[in-house]
Amino acid sequence: MFCPECGLEYEEGSSLCEDCGVELVEDPLGEEAPEELEFVPLGEVTDATVFAIVTSQLEEAGIPWFVQSEKESMAMVYVARNRLAEAHRELAAAASPVAVCEGN
Ligand SMILES: [Zn+2]
């Protein structure tokens, strides 16, 4: 919030400028930091094949993700916190054993 008269900024919760006595307005420039995604660990992946499946599933679902390698051949996959449940659902099937039986 800020005062349209003097331009002074106020914390959320104030409604009047203490100097001018005018009503505060929302910052029209929207200078607030762009919504930052918070990432939470989804799980460790040590298998390259699984890794490929997991990341392609996440891509397909449009879930933001990144990987942080902690050791060689081991990666921690992070996904956006607000999509974590969705990521789990997506992976419930995909990350299960890679062996897919074709043919009945
Ligand atoms: Zn003011």
CA of 33 to the centre of ligand 1 (A): 23
Is the domain of 62 the same as that of 22?
Answer: no
Domain total of the chain: 2
| pLDDT in the model for residue 82 | 93
Is the domain of 13 the same as that of 45?
Answer: no
| pLDDT in the model for residue 87 | 92
Residue written as token pair 């990521």:
87
3-state secondary structure of 87: helix
CA of 11 to the centre of ligand 1 (A): 13
CA of 26 to the centre of ligand 1 (A): 13
Domain range for 24 is 1-32
Is the domain of 15 the same as that of 62?
Answer: no
Residue 102 lies in a domain: no
Q: Answer whether 0.85 is exceeded by the pTM.
A: no
The CATH number that applies at residue 56 is 3.30.70.790
Q: What is the DSSP code (8-state) at residue 38? A: P
